[in-house]
Chain A
């Protein structure tokens, strides 16, 4: 038999697994709504306003909590670093990618958190991925909240540890699982300060006490609290008086700090070895000099941002009360962070409401499964210290008109 007659093997389309999502998307867009996941900001005017589709839009879904993105000192530091160090490092932190600025931002972090060690990653995602997968390996146990961020789950999967989730913020469920872990096994408890979907905070004081009583190390992701929760803006663990018992704090530059990058701070005496064994740190290029310069400047300014912090809390409380009074269903009964999640009845009406708000001139995040817990569709609002009281009043009016037009309130 020659090759000419050999039948071609049937090819399996590797994309067929995405068919359900393609169909969900197609049917949503067929209703005529604007695609909520392909918005373009044509011009950004300030931390709180941008031009979207030719219209000036108030930004209420940016995580730019402290409004540092247009801070004149931050911008100046970035420009100077571009002039002095060029546009990029073209290398790993452990080879040619550590410049003076990378050390300087790690020093700023150590000072900000009052900790001995700081390690900067290229993104917050990589910080969780890298630290979790490296410290918890085969035979170790990771006990984590079921509502953990994707970067935490991916770090668990990459590390080969036994992964044991517990019900969201359920202290007893966490304790039971910790007690069932075989004696002698390494244990890591992974928690978040603020859970970003509903904007609720964790009972860290109790959870960390129980974790320690059961011989576990504790990692807390404080991405959504840095800069404005806790007496020094160090996060929920500081606010609840338990930061000293946290072994690893994970954070990001892409929220309050106002640029991009991730980090881990720790007092562990052997922490520096992470720089050689953590693959998402080693096998990627380091942050550009301008990014680390803006981050360092921003972090140092956040140490003295008491007034901005107070105004951010005021904004959060005002909007939370106004939306509650209008009859919207919110993710938390009281404002616990700078995130206010408005719960939508379903994806279709969520998308309609999102579009109605955009027409009003307001941008919020539309969040849907699998990012959200319990299959919820959310309009997630994150406030900024630079939102004026007047803007918050305008936002409330926009929610009222859009909510009535879509029939949600």
Chain B
């Protein structure tokens, strides 16, 4: 799946997690802008993993701070 198609599917997955209806772009940060607690992060990561049938290990999660970085990582992890 190319980056654009991946981004579209991530946009669908993130919607129920974006409780404040924040306008999300590539620079949106999960901790800073979305203000997710660790539990929400875990549920969201699990949802992304299940959607794409991939593993995003804790080690990889540590490198993902923004929405754009997540799209990059998921695009790459699909191989």
Contact = CB atoms under 8 A, between A and B. Distances in A.
A181 B55 contact: yes
Contacts of A181: 55
Contacts of B37: 375
Nearest to A153: B58
A166 B58 CA distance: 11
B42 A165 contact: yes
Contacts of A156: 58
Contact of B42 (A163, A167, A177): A167
A176 B59 contact: no
A41 interface: no
Interface residues on A, range: 10 to 19
Interface residues of B, number: 14
Nearest to B52: A180
B38 to A, nearest CB: 8
Q: Say whether chain B's binding surface is mostly helix, strand, loop, or mixed.
A: helix
Q: Say whether chain A's binding surface is mostly helix, strand, loop, or mixed.
A: mixed
Contacts of A375: 37, 39
Interface string B47-60: 00110011101111
B49 A146 contact: no
A162 interface: yes
A165 B56 CA distance: 10
Given A167-B46, A173-B46, A177-B49, A162 B39 contact: no
A181 B42 CA distance: 18
A4 interface: no
B4 to A, nearest CB: 24
B50 A176 contact: yes
A165 B58 contact: yes
15 contacts: A141-B57, A156-B58, A162-B58, A163-B58, A164-B55, A164-B57, A164-B58, A166-B46, A167-B46, A176-B49, A176-B50, A180-B49, A181-B55, A374-B39, A375-B37
Interface of A: 141, 146, 156, 162-167, 173, 176-177, 180-181, 374-375
Given A163-B59, A164-B55, A164-B57, 6 more contacts: A141-B57, A162-B59, A166-B46, A167-B43, A167-B46, A180-B54
